[in-house]
Amino acid sequence: MPNTELHGIAALEHLGVIRATGEDAVKFLHGQLTQDLALLPVGQARLAALCSPKGRMLASFVLVKHSQEEVWLVCSRDLLAPTLKRLSMFVMRAKARLVDASTELRVYGLLGSAQIAHPAGASAAPWSAVAVDSAHAVQLYPAGDTGRQLWVGPAELAPPQGTPVSAQDWACSEVASGVATVSAPLVELFVPQMLNYESIGGVSFKKGCYPGQEVVARSQFRGTLKRRTYLARSSAPLQAAQELYAAGDLEQPVGVVVQAASLPDGAVLALLCLQISADMGSLCTQEKPDLKISVLELPYALLEDI
């Protein structure tokens, strides 16, 4: 596991921001994403996904409702351009405008004591947010004992003070939190539940239709889900979208690497999407059949009604 005593701030250059503005911006995104933006209070945040009509994830976001007519969508920078293009295709006559705001809005990760304190009596649960001038600090799932926040704000606004933390340390904390971010190699590999999104607040089952909604709902309520994401430790490097096998059968993959980050001791912490029926004690890659992968306990409970 990563250093649970880590404190500081990391510039997250691997993330970008799409800004949606206009009278219909909230309504438009409500009809495109897995999350309920209509009921989301201004100043609050949520995890969400954009899916294909087949329910496969095209991108994931931490979204912030900056105002009734402005939403910020933080996503993997390598998916920002195609995601922006796809969303813009469906705006049509809606009074909404989507732009790449990655230059105007900066993203930082805050760890431990560098986090922004929540007001007395306010919730500090994951996806709750604290307004800081014209910026927002979104509470993320923790990495072990280390609290984590995502700070999103105008580039001209000074970021929070704190000891600089490396991008690698942040990557380890992200994996340790158990919350996956969809990047380019992972496009259309998963329905949201395969990444445990229904268990960590990334899917609303009470809202209306969105692309892929029927498939996502069927996976939830008809017991059709056969894969889940697990936290694991590997003795050698792993890459996103790399296939995983059971040691006794290198022909049929039993899973895929979602995210991985190197630990100071040389090992690798990873999120793996695996068949629920897979032998968790004999995982390997085709290239390294003697690879040692240990599945660890997730830092949150999975919903069991699937």
DSSP-assigned beta bridge partners for residue 294: 233
Answer yes or no: do 38 and 166 share one domain. yes
22 and 125 fall within a common domain: yes
pTM over 0.85: yes
Residue entry with tokens 């909230």: 26
Q: Is the pLDDT of residue 85 over 90?
A: yes
Domain at 277, CATH number: 2.40.30.160
Scanning the structure block, which residue is given the tokens 């995601």? 83
The domain of 240 spans 226-300
Residue 182: Cβ within 10 Å count: 28
Contact 254, 283 (CB under 8 A): yes
- Residues 6+ away with beta carbon under 8 Å from 279: 246, 254
Q: Is the pLDDT of residue 4 over 60?
A: no
Q: How far apart are CA 53 and CA 36, in angstroms?
A: 18
CATH number where 108 lies: 3.30.70.1400
User: pLDDT of 91-130, one tens digit each?
Assistant: 999 999 999 999 999 999 999 999 999 998 888 999 999 9
Residue 286, in any domain of the structure: yes
Distance of CA 78 to the CA centre of its chain: 14
Domain count, the chain: 2
Same domain for 75 and 17: yes
Amino acid type, 47: L
Gyration radius (Cα) of the chain, Å: 19
Token output for 209: 């239709």
Is residue 194 domain-resident? no
Residue 58 lies in a domain: yes
Question: Is 143 domain-assigned?
Answer: yes
pLDDT tens-digit series, residues 134-154 = 999 999 999 999 999 999 999
Task: State yes or no: pLDDT of 222 exceeds 80.
Answer: no
Query: Taking the alpha carbons of 282, 286, 289, 293 in that order, is the dihedral positive or negative?
Result: negative
Rounded to the nearest integer, the mean pLDDT of the chain is 94
Among the candidates 177, 198, 214, a domain finishes at: 177
